[in-house]
Structure 1
Amino acid sequence: MSGTHSPSVDRLAPRTFQGRLTLAFVAVVAMTLGLVGLLVVNRLGAYFDQQQADDLAARARGVAQYVILVAESAPSVRAGRPVVSADGQVDPTVAFELGLDRQQRIIADRLAQADVQVRLGRLDGDAFQPAANGAFAASEQAQAAPNQFRERMTSSPVVVEVSSAIVPYAVEVTLLNPYTYRAAAISNVTGLLAIIGLIALAIAVVVAAMLTRRITTPLRRLTEASRDLADGDFARRVPSDAIEDGPVELSELGLQFNAMAERLQQSIEIIRSDRDRSREFLADVSHELRTPIAAVRTFNELLVEGAADDPSTRAEFLESSRAQLERLDWLAQNLLELSKLDSGLVLLDLRPDDLRSAVEQAVEQSAATARRRGVELTMERPESPIQIRHDPVRIGQVVANLVGNAIKFTPRGGRVGVQVRGDAEGGATITVTDTGVGIDPAELPRIFDRFFRGSGASEARGSGSGLGLAIVRSIVEMHGGSVTVESRLGAGTTFRVTLPAIPRPPSSSDSQRVAETSPAQAQNLNPEPAP
């Protein structure tokens, strides 16, 4: 049945790709050598056949010449009688001489090296007419020479005419079962071909093993690396020596595998990092939500237990509950906003407007808080417009958050200054400077992390949620800008926001957050109110 194969063949075949490739290569070489050997032996057989035919013809002519010599040397022939008479009879003296055993030994053993049939007669045109008593036979009795073998064959008759005699005659010689070197020559050539074939086959095995090893080593390394990747070793790579030593196709495969493994490792690290941040974020959210909820629950329990009977106490508890509920609502809005910013659900309403307007509105919103806390709030701006593409609402949110933090951390009598200016490349820089308490240098790298409020125990630090600066960084990066901070303890802090002329988000994921939107789609989130 077509398409089926014997299970025994599968058991005999090598299991490895290297073994099968080697076996296939050796099989092809063996078949080629076999076909070449058959062709060579066949051609040599025809060549030796022709050589043997020429050799037997030469032996037959030698026998004919000897027979003529014996016939011409007979006394009667020397006396003038013909060897073969006109009526087709061989001279009796010649017949007697040719029948002698010593002549037959010379003819058969020495000259012909075969059984010999000799006929004397005359030529009639091209046809040989044997004489009535002109047939003689001699059998080979000598031992064969080294490497000679008797061939069971009959040679073609050789006819030699003697036209110079008184009566012209002819001698026909046929050799039977001759000794020849043909079989020995073919055997020697066949044996030599076999030895050469075995040597070539052995060389083919070695070469095939080397070539297949060169091919299969990169594949084996790829298999090992794939297995390690499947087992969780994401740092596993195909060694460079295995890639460089293999064929071009396998080298490209190894390079692509390493590139894939590198991207996979980066993806896994990002996933793990996101997972860890999600866990920390969830823990921080739980902690932040628990504080106002616990306060509200405590106030309610106190009111239920009788504190409501005292009007001043009831009013104080209700006011505190209202403040905690506002804080809870504000915290939920900030969490939702930050989640939207990180997930790309917030689209920027990019407009080529005057940046000074967005900054000025944010500063005016914070002016009342600054006056209430006794902090001097100033703004410095150029006379000419600063036209850059930006989202006015989001930039206002950035300025409001920075100014709110500066007011909160600046003691009474301090100063908070806001400066906006353009740059030579068409962008802009917003600087918020305060004379507040400053930030510990060890805490500067973490101030943009979510829920980070520093290690200080001051009331101002403890009242914040730690989300404002995280929102600031997300919005600025969506604009393709950057935000930096400089601070010294007791000397104040400076935040500097740099915006490009044309927003270019730093990554493809961020680029999905930038789009042209209508003003109705823009959302405003009030900055954290000062306590």
Structure 2
Amino acid sequence: MAKDFKRSYKFAVKTSVYLTLFLTVLSAGFLLIAGVFTWALLIVYAISCFVFSFLIIQYRLEVFIYTKIKKIFEHVRLLSASSVKPGQVTTDMATLSREVEKFAEGKKMEIEALKMRDSYRKEFMGNISHELKTPLFTVQGYILTLLDGAMKDKTVRKKYLSRAAKGVERLIYIVNDLDMITRLETGELRLKKENFDVIEVVQNVFDLLEMKAAKKNITLIFDTDYEPVWVRADREKIQQVLTNLLVNSIKYGKHDGTTEVIIENFSKKRVVVRVTDNGEGIEKVHLPRLFERFYRVDKSGSRKEGGSGLGLAIVKHLIEAHKEKIFVESVPGLGSEFSFTLKKAKKPGGVTAETRVAQA
């Protein structure tokens, strides 16, 4: 307490002591000359002089510091002057320095965050422009070719219209994905939660993607033979999550590789679904931005493979809409693992999810 007092009022106390000593000595001389000198009178005078000097100096110092700091804030326009109140100002310069440093550091972090956000915004606008521009120009090219006379050739007309239709489908696909993300972010997309067997959903996705995986001779497998594992979630949305993760795994998987799905207990109330492959893997530097819209690790390779560039962003939003977590681990050259949690559910017959997974 004494230390805090000394720090806060050191200047005022020292100055008051100096003034008191000077005035007391001066007054003692006058009292001696006048012949009315008494120690009691001198002591009372000294105490009164010290108290009065201390209060005046302390008050004026606070007003001075407050005024100066207020002007600084007004000049730099970083903080409105109304947010600085006299009661908040102290004469302890060390405290003031810390507060100013803390304020400056906070503003620096805000500026860096805004710069980073602006950079992401520019990149996002460039990406979405590219994604929409490619199919639009494709459709425009085929239509203009037909209008220039190719429409007379029945074979060419059918082929070009078919290709233009594919370009339109790609546009619709991108717009629908963007619409879904927007509705998820704004909370407009409602989840229809129900109890279902996640093993059955994974198997359905395997069946849907079997031909796509066969083109690269990639095998889709479970790591073991599972009995039903019941969870509570939006069945359709979880199927979309699994589809996006498996499509991503196949797209970047190596020929003659494998994509494996593993389901384990995550906690007493949750299971974790892991999608693992032995593909090309992802560099560590890309992992923090992997779930951003249109973010691509290998831009040239990604363009060639196709896709909207929104798959992982949708996965993240759908999992977060369930109030669950998604994780990613990857080693370049060895493969990647995407995993997410799901809430366990009551199963027919009253058997718990934990028992079924443990038995598997």
**Contact 2:249–2:279 at 8 Å: present in 1 too?**
yes
Counterparts of 1:205-220 in structure 2, within 5 Å, are 205-213=52-60, 215-216=62-63, 219-220=66-67
Q: CA deviation at 1:289?
A: 0.9
CA deviation string 1:373-421 (max 9, x = no partner): 5432223466444344433222221111011112223355433222223
* CA distance 1:277–1:349, change in 2 (3 Å): farther
Q: Secondary structure of 2:262's match?
A: strand
Aligned to 1:403: 246
Question: Residue in 2 aligned with 1:310?
Answer: 153
Q: CA deviation at 1:477?
A: 3.3
Distance 1:389 1:455, change over 3 A: same
Which residue does the alignment assign to 1:369? 212
Equivalence for 2:358? none
* Alpha-carbon offset, residue 300 of structure 1: 1.2
List gaps (5 residues or longer) in structure 1. Answer: 1-186, 503-531
Matched, 1:463 2:310: no
**Equivalent position amino acid for 1:481 in 2:** K
1:434 to 266, 277, 282: 277
CA pair 472-208 structure 1, distance change in 2 beyond 3 A: same
Encode CA deviations 1:253-299: one digit per residue, 9 max, x unaligned. 99999999988876666555544433332222122111111111111
SS at structure 2 position matched to 1:493: strand
Check if 1:495 corresponds to 2:342: no
What's the CA shift for 1:302? 1.2
Change (3 A) 1:257 1:444: closer
Closer/same/farther in 2, CA of residues 413 and 207 from structure 1, 3 Å limit: closer
Q: Deviations over 1:416-449 (max 9, x none)?
A: 2222232343322222223444445554444323
Distance 1:397 1:221, change over 3 A: farther
TM-score normalized by the length of structure 1: 0.47
The answer to whether residue 128 in structure 2 is matched with residue 281 in structure 1 is no
TM-score of the superposition, structure 2-length normalised?
0.66
Work out the number of aligned pairs and report it.
304
Write the letter of the residue equivalent to 1:307: A
Give the SS at the match of 1:466. Answer: coil
Instruction: Find the aligned partners of 2:284 and 2:45 in 1 and give their Cα distance.
Output: 81
Q: Relative contact order, CA 8 A, sep 6+: which one is greater?
A: 2
1:359 aligns with 2:195: no
Q: Which structure's CA Rg is the greater one?
A: 1
Question: Does the CA-based 8 Å contact 1:426-1:501 persist in structure 2?
Answer: yes
Q: What is the rounded CA distance, in whole Å, between the counterparts of 2:145 and 2:109 in structure 1? A: 53
Counterpart of 1:223 in structure 2: which amino acid? K
Aligned to 1:227: 74
Please give the per-residue CA displacement for 1:36-83, whole angstroms capped at 9, x wherever unaligned.
Answer: xxxxxxxxxxxxxxxxxxxxxxxxxxxxxxxxxxxxxxxxxxxxxxxx
Q: Identify the residue that residue 328 of structure 2 maps to in structure 1.
A: 484
Give the match's secondary structure for 1:457.
Answer: helix
CA distance in 2, matches of 1:315, 1:226: 70
Correspondence 1:59-78 to 2 at 5 A: none
**Deviation at 1:460?**
6.6
Q: CA deviation at 1:327?
A: 0.5
Give, in whole Å, the separation in 1 of the partners of 2:158 and 2:254. 29
CA distance in 2, matches of 1:432, 1:305: 50
- State the SS of the aligned residue for 2:274: strand
Instruction: Give the equivalent residue in structure 1 for 2:189.
Output: 346
Choose which of 312, 316, 319 in structure 2 pairs with 1:473. Answer: 316
Measure the CA separation in 2 of the matches of 1:227 and 1:294.
52
Instruction: In structure 2, give the amino acid aligned to 1:457.
Output: S
Instruction: Supply the AA of the counterpart residue of 1:342.
Output: E
CA contact (8 A) 1:481 1:500 kept: no
Q: 2:327 touches 2:339 (CA, 8 Å); kept in 1?
A: yes
Contact 2:251 2:305 in 1 (8 A): no
Quickly say closer, same or farther: Cα 1:443–1:268, change in 2 above 3 A.
closer
1:171 aligns to what?
Answer: none
Percent identical: 25
Structure 2 residue matching 1:452: 3-state secondary structure: coil
The change in CA–CA distance for 1:417 and 1:198 in structure 2 (over 3 A counts) is closer
Per the alignment, residue 10 of structure 1 pairs with none
| Counterpart code for 1:320 | R
Q: Taking structure 1 as reference, are residues 459 and 486 closer, same or farther at Cα in structure 2, changes over 3 Å only?
A: closer
2:133 is the counterpart of 1:295: no
The alignment's C-alpha RMSD in Å is: 4.4
- Equivalent residue of 1:425, what SS? coil
Matched, 1:425 2:287: no
Does the 8 Å CA contact 2:274/2:339 hold for their aligned counterparts?
yes
Amino acid of the structure 1 residue aligned with 2:74:
R
